[in-house]
Structure 1
Amino acid sequence: MCRIYGYFNSTASPNEMRGVGALQRHGGPDRTGRARSPGWGLGSNRLAIVDLDGGRQPYELDGRITVVFNGEIYNHDALRARLRRRGHTFADRCDGAIIPALYAEYGERFTDLLDGMYAVAVLDTRERPKLLLATDESGMKPLYYRWDPVERSLHFSSEIPALLGFDGIGRTVWGPGLDAYLASRTPFGEQTMFEEIKVLPPATTLRCTLGATPGTTRRQAAPAQVPSDPDKAAELVRESLRTEVGRLLVADVPVALITSGGLDSSLVTALAAEHGPVHSFNIAYRGGWPFDERHFAREAADHVGAVYHQVELDPATLPELIEDVVWHLGQPNADPITVSTYALFAAVRKAGFKVALTGDAADEVFGGYARMRAAFETASSGGDWYEPYLDSLAVLPADRRHTLYTDDYQRLVEDIPPIPAEALGRLRHGEGTVLERITDFELGHRMPAYHLRRVDHLSMAHSVEARLPFCQRGVTALGRALPDALRIHRRQVKRTLYGAAAGLVPDGVHRRAKQPFTLPVTAMLAPATPLWEFARDVLAASRLRPAGRLDPRAVDALFENQALRPDDTTALTIWALMTYEVWQDQFQGATKPVDAVAASA
């Protein structure tokens, strides 16, 4: 596991490259490596997980193929054996060491053979120089880039703050970004909150040849077949998960489990415990708060004999945590769980673990969200599912969202879809059933943007590698192949996954209603609390007026409503706006008045 960065058809001094690497060294503190030549440079920060003394990046082959790699390739032993039969030799047993030879043998299709999570950069100077950037099928390892069409140069990195460390990359805010953020809780698609910075989508290879405009190729998801019988389908999913969890436990460093108390993480914990003693981590909040799942997490851990670690977060520390979280994410994410995720992985690392398996992404893969069930049931009865589904993704519905904006900002965004139009078109009118289209949308857009980048950035902030069995391509292929009735049936979500977990997790966990793993922000955001005072200060009228996007009177009304009649939507809106303003403060120079944005549009 590493952090990677570099540039193509440009220049950067050794000091500039060191500075960029230092900005994401938390994700790879064990070794740094760089390679430079006229017109290009590649860098890596290594978090040593496999072959602790090896893994000296950048990897090279014949001085003409240079590679930096972030992630884990779980089938690297099989690929290494195949490549050895073709005459290749390797200096170590690190997974990334196989990539130069794999690329030399199979060209740009080398990614078809990789099974794991990754972001890869390949610099090929054998003919006309070119740079390839590639991401895994789920988007578990983000990769951000900036293309300059005038200079025809490209810069990239694993994290946004590091990318901004390159000279000349602007910090200008993407004008419609606030509306996109409030519509989906973080921008979907390739556009980030910075006008010049894009993020490479999942399952995508970007090709940049010297002097030419970059082009991208999107790989198709692997097909799978599942039995129509519910019991046989559940057995197939259980065995696939069992295999993946076993592979993901392999490391040369201690491995932990994240156990929230829900079905998904409890199932991963149970399957991991089949391989020997495990350590399980859960986070809760000091005091008496709603949604406390610690007793379910402990029950799941005790059921399989795991060593249980209870992490407690003091709500008084939330303001400080928010600032750290926003910096590491590089752009705002409206989910309050971000601070819990950050604090939890800090505790995992402090306890001596560098790898943690989680239950993330099961809901997207197997149909676990209430919004999926509501859309499925509404569509089945002939009702309008589309607008209510989109509203469920937002911080608050569109009609209420626009009441927060100034007149100038309202005019700026009124004709710009806050979610990419192409994605919305496929969601509303594409092939397949409504539930199949929602699943494709969740997996292709919401999960990588809103969910996986949070897990990646906030675990690597503490030098912890998060591994996600439910994102493994064999598991996601089974989830995609399930017919609607094997995902949602008679108001039960994740039908097949519940069947797969039967007998492996405690009955109390198996029978309990689904509960979101979140921070109880509605209860915590109350007058006179540290969080309330912090939010009031960040969202003061004097701080909102210069940007010209948010109407200070509308924001004040949110606080008045929350003080008198607390509700989840108002609390989340305050949290989201607070996070947005913290982001603007941290990346100073990013803000420019909305009239200036409109003038340049």
Structure 2
Amino acid sequence: MCRIFGRLGEGPATRVDRTDLARVAARQRHGGPDRQSVLAGDGWALGCNRLAVTDPGGGDQPYRLGHAFEDGILVVFNGEIYNHAELRRRLLTRGHRLPDRCDGSVLPALYAEYGPAFVEQLDGMYAVAVLDLRAAEPELLIATDPLGMKPVYYHLGADGLEFASELPALLAFPAVRRERWEPGLDRYLRYRTPLGERTLYRHVRVLPPAAVARYSVSGGLRISRREAPAEAGADAAVGAGVGGGFGSAAGFGAGFGAGLARGDRDEAGAGRDTLAALHHEVGRLARADVPVAVVASGGLDSGLVTALAAQHLPDLHTFTLVHPGHWPGDERRYAAEVARYCGAVHHEVELDPADLPDLLPRTVAHLGQPNADPITASTHALFAEVRAAGFTVALTGDGADELFGGYDRIRTAVATPPGRPWAGAYLEEVAAVPTALRERLYTAEYRAELRAESGTGSGTEPGAEEPALREEPDRMAAIWRFETGLRMPAYHLRRVDHLSMASAVEVRLPYLQPAVHGLAHRLPGHLKVSGGRVKKPLYAAARGLVPDSVLRRPKQPFTLPVTAMLAPGQPLAAFARDILAPDRVRRDGRLRAERVTALLDRKAGVPEDTAARAVWALLVHQLWADGESARH
């Protein structure tokens, strides 16, 4: 796991000064504290900050193929290639010499064998940049994993292309233009972060999941998308039972057809198949050359991962976040009960609300742009303690709600009678600030700007570039595309990546691995959500492995109790008042300061969740905007 960056171009900005490259590397060194390296040549530069996970003594980057890097293949890589041992064996039989056991060391030889199609051989989470210097004109190729677990930000200018694993690092390149994307505030308040390839900077984009981007000076930038893994065939999921000694993900899925037929018929069959798939993936991900822990919230998803990880890790440690005092939604009892049930050593990481005014600006800075989920502060604090306790890898339960339909808004959408609209209400639940409130908060000038940008009659209607949740008979299919294809990479996975790597912790996500993801995609919607129940296969899979108290408890998100923490007299409430003071809001020019103040007054008078979420979202955006002003 690493942080990567680089540039390919021509013109005045071609030769990036070593001081500038050092500044880029420094901005993401927290994610790769073990080793830093940069190579630069005529018109190009590649760099890496390494977090040593696989073969900690090896893995020197940039990886290379060729005695002289000037005429060979150079690779920098962020992530984990879980099938690297199988790929290594294959490459060795074809005559390649590989320097060590590091997973990324196979990449130059793999590219030499398969060209741009090398990415089809990879099983893992990754962002890979390949600089091919063998031809007369260098070409840069950047590939992302199928679900977008490892993001890459890039800037395309007149003089070339720059890329980095994190936004603040990319912005350290002198050629990168930092102009604000004006609709970004509306998109952020609408979706809790910009979706798709957009960022809050007009000229900075994120590569989509399953992307292969190729750039050369003469050919420009070309981005293609590979087929979504769950749609590529049935070999990405499960047919055998628990404990069957599975090998690679592809081999594991060889008998999937029969298993799916069983799972199609009833809930119990779906539960058996889900348990087998998850057992396989947790087992693969629990293997590492460094200590591995589990983040356990006290809910079903992480509880099931904990139970299965305990079968593979005899000295398992679990971590959960708590707050001193009594707060709504406190899950510490359940997290501790899961750990005891599974025989794990349990750690409670305490976050004092009085520390939020100091923690939140640092959290926003690591994200690089606003994300309105209050879990960001918790995530940042939690992974800092995981690392301090000596763990470099952590398994989590992220992704289960998206794959198996765990959100209340999904249950509501499914329960809406046929023929009645449901997508609009669904998107209102997704929003950080509801449409009517956004309308009241925006200045007339900003509403006019949004109308001009989107080409629609209303400043709060989505423009042509917006992701859509379409009304269609197969609601679960539409929800799957929106939640896993659009929202999860932008809102969820980038947040997890940036805030875990802020403390040099590699997060591994069992639910998003091929066997589980493929099975979840193929299960009929009614076996996931129906009759007012959600995540039915997971509940069936967890029986006997997770305490009954966890299975019976009402579902709740693992997040900060923001409504209570924004109550009058709380440190966070005073901090929000200060940050959202009228003079600071007016400087931005897009929000009506008096209405932001009225929202703060409303939240102080009535402890109401919608107003609290809106205040939190505005607070996070203002912290980001203040940080931008300070950097200028």
TM-score, normalising length: structure 1: 0.95
2:604 corresponds to:
563
| Aligned partner of residue 220 in structure 2, secondary structure | coil
* Counterpart for residue 402 of structure 2: 364
Q: How far apart, CA to CA, are the structure 1 residues paired with 2:461 and 2:95?
A: 51
Give the conservation status (yes or no) of the 8 Å contact 1:498–1:510: yes
Q: Is the 8 A contact 1:172 1:589 kept in 2?
A: no
Q: Residue 428 of structure 1 aligns with which residue?
A: 470
Q: Secondary structure at the match of 2:193?
A: coil
How far the C-alpha of 1:589 sits from its partner, in A, is: 6.7
Deviation at 1:233, TM superposition (A): 2.1
Per the alignment, residue 184 of structure 2 pairs with 177
Gaps of 5+ in 2: 235-256, 455-459
Q: What is aligned with 1:53?
A: 57
**AA partner of residue 60 (structure 1):** R
SS in 1 for 2:629: coil
CA apart distance, 1:588: 2.0
Q: Which one of the candidate residues 7, 11, 17 is aligned to 1:13?
A: 17
| 1:136-285 correspondence to structure 2 within 5 Å | 136-148=145-157, 150-151=158-159, 153-222=160-229, 223-224=233-234, 226-227=260-261, 228-229=264-265, 230-275=267-312, 276-285=314-323
Cα offsets for 1:467-497 (capped at 9, x unmatched)? 1111112221111111111110211101112
Deviation at 1:160, TM superposition (A): 0.5
For the pair 1:42 / 2:46, whether they are aligned, the reply is: yes
Which 4+ stretches in 1 moved above 3 angstroms? 417-425
CA distance in 1, matches of 2:54, 2:196: 33
Larger deviation, residues 157-166 vs 219-228 = 219-228
Alignment of 1:505-524 (within 5 A): 505-524=546-565
**Mapping of 1:91-490 within 5 angstroms?**
91-127=99-135, 128-148=137-157, 150-151=158-159, 153-222=160-229, 223-224=233-234, 226-227=260-261, 228-229=264-265, 230-275=267-312, 276-378=314-416, 380-414=417-451, 416=454, 421=464, 424-425=467-468, 427-428=469-470, 433-490=474-531
| Counterpart residue number, 2:570 | 529
Q: Deviations over 1:329-365 (max 9, x none)?
A: 0000111110000000011011111110000010001
Alpha-carbon contact 1:179-1:418 (below 8 Å) kept: no
Kept in 1, the 8 Å contact 2:423–2:471? The answer is no
- The amino acid of 1:132's aligned partner reads L
Distance 1:507 1:326 in 2: 37
Partner Cα distance (2:461, 2:300) in 1: 33
Which residue does the alignment assign to 1:599? Answer: none
CA distance in structure 2 between the aligned counterparts of 1:81 and 1:552, rounded to whole angstroms: 63
* Counterparts in 2 of 1:96 and 1:192: CA distance versus 1, 3 Å: same
Aligned to 1:546, the other structure's residue is in SS state helix
2:540 is matched with which residue?
Answer: 499
Q: 508-517 vs 340-349, which deviates more?
A: 508-517
Q: Please state how far the C-alpha of 1:269 moved relative to its aligned partner.
A: 0.4
Mapped to 2, the partners of 1:32 and 1:277 lie a distance apart of 32
1:412-470: CA deviation from partner (whole Å, max 9, x where unpaired): 11352776746645x3167x711111111111111111111111100100011111111
Task: Call closer, same or farther: CA 1:389–1:409 in 2, change over 3 Å.
Answer: same
| Aligned residue type for 2:385 | A
Deviation at 1:580, TM superposition (A): 0.4
In structure 2, C-alpha distance between the alignment counterparts of 1:583 and 1:506, rounded to whole Å: 41
Q: Once the two structures are superposed, what CA deviation does each residue of 1:290-345 show, in whole Å capped at 9, x if it has no partner? A: 01001010111100100000111100000111011000000001111100000000
Aligned AA (2:413)? A
Task: Report Cα offsets for 1:187-217 as digits up to 9, x if no partner.
Answer: 0011101111101111111111232221111
CA shift digits 1:150-203 (9 cap, x unpaired): 32x100000000011111312221100110000000000111011111011111
Cα separation, 2, equivalents of 1:269 and 1:281: 10
Q: Distance in 2 between matches of 1:216 and 1:344?
A: 36
Change (3 A) 1:186 1:124: same
RMSD of aligned residue pairs (Cα, Å): 1.5
Checking the alignment, whether the CA contact within 8 Å between 1:172 and 1:590 is kept in structure 2 is: no
CA distance in 2 between partners of 1:505 and 1:400 (Å): 41
Query: In the alignment, is the contact (CA less than 8 A) between 1:539 and 1:578 conserved in 2?
Result: yes
Task: Provide the rounded CA distance (Å) in 2 between the counterparts of 1:423 and 1:439.
Answer: 17
Is the 2:414–2:530 contact (alpha carbons within 8 Å) kept by the matching residues of 1?
A: no
| Structure with higher RCO (Cα < 8 A, 6+ apart) | 1
Unaligned runs of 5+ residues in structure 1 are: 592-601
